[in-house]
Amino acid sequence: MKQINQLAKLISEAKSIVFLTGAGVSTASGIPDFRSTDGIWTEDRSREYYTSVDYYTKDPYDFWRKYKEIFQIKLLRNFQPNEVHNFIAELETQGKDISIVTQNVDSLHSLAGNKHVVEYHGNLNTATCPVCGAHYDLAYLMEHDVPVCTTTDCKTVVRPDIVLFGDPITKHSEAEMAIASSDLMLVLGTSLLVTPFSLLPSSAKQYGIPMAIVNRDPTPMDDLFDHVIHADLVAVVEQLKQLI
């Protein structure tokens, strides 16, 4: 495929690459795609309410029960990086300056070995007490149906370290800095439907760097990109590995 050959050439020649990644990167690891045409959110829009700041504030105990079910917390330790995560990590070991801005909350990019990962929506592996700031790891979250802060005299129900619906985004500036310091942008496995993440390709366009997107389905932002590939992401990565 001509587009894949061109993309392989861009990757080979680039010194600094920024990846914007979404749920499609993690589906090969068994993690559901929340926002594809047949994803979880389309099955039950109430999930947005149950993973919102408002619901955590209203009923933190039931929030945690639904949160663990929706994000399959019990299975989190079973998820491992797949061919796409490993491909990006290999580019870094080959000497390329790699930055990743990810919508995913599974921390698989870091587990694969990439060092500069901007977790745009936070991660599922930790939680923080909103009152005293104490931090808790996945092991503690797994031990308790409803994790409560153990700090003396606190006992507050902790909050997961993901961006809940209604939360502000705090990583946007860091993401834009990663884009500004790169000479190639690759967008992988995201529908680009969620703002302000969906605004990041426009930032890259302003810098005039080459831009490519690989996603199973068309996105509203496809016209911004120099190279657009609608195909299975793992299959595309396998072809790129043979060409680079």
**Secondary structure (H, E, C), the chain:** CHHHHHHHHHHHHCCEEEEEECHHHHHHHCCCCCCCCCCHHHHCCHHHHHCEHHHHHHCHHHHHHHHHHHCCHHHHHHCCCCHHHHHHHHHHHCCCEEEEEECCCCCHHHHHCCCCEEECCEEEEEEECCCCCCEEEHHHHHHCCCCECCCCCCCCECEEEECCECCCCCCHHHHHHHHHCCCEEEEECCCCCCCCHHHHHHHHHHHCCCEEEEECCCCCCHHHCCEEEECCHHHHHHHHHHHC
Q: Where in the chain is the domain with CATH 3.30.1600.10?
A: 33-78+122-162
| Residue 57 confidence (pLDDT) | 96
Question: For residue 32, which phi and psi values (nearest 5 degrees)?
Answer: -65, 145
Q: What is the dihedral of CA 201, 206, 209, 212, to 10 degrees?
A: 30
33-78+122-162: CATH topology = SIR2/SIRT2 'Small Domain' (3.30.1600)
Average pLDDT for residues 32-57, to the nearest whole number?
70
Cis peptide, bond prior to residue 196, ω within 30 of zero: yes
Nearest to 71, CA basis, from 4, 130, 25, 138: 138
Round to whole Å and give the CA distance between 141 and 145.
8
| Residue 153 confidence (pLDDT) | 84
Binding-site positions for Zn(2+) read 129, 132, 149, 154
Catalytic member of 121, 172, 227, 230: 121
Average pLDDT for residues 194-217, to the nearest whole number?
94
Q: Where in the chain is the domain with CATH 3.40.50.1220?
A: 1-31+80-121+169-244
Using one digit for the tens of pLDDT, what is the confidence trace for 220-244? Answer: 999 999 999 999 999 999 999 999 8
1 pLDDT exceeds 80?
no
**Is-above-0.85 flag for pTM?**
yes
1-31+80-121+169-244: CATH topology = Rossmann fold (3.40.50)
Mean pLDDT of the chain: 91
Strand order in the sheet with 135-137: 135-137, 122-128, 159-162
Q: Clarify whether 135 is annotated catalytic.
A: no
| Residue 76 confidence (pLDDT) | 66
Using one digit for the tens of pLDDT, what is the confidence trace for 113-151? Answer: 999 999 999 999 999 999 999 999 999 999 999 999 998
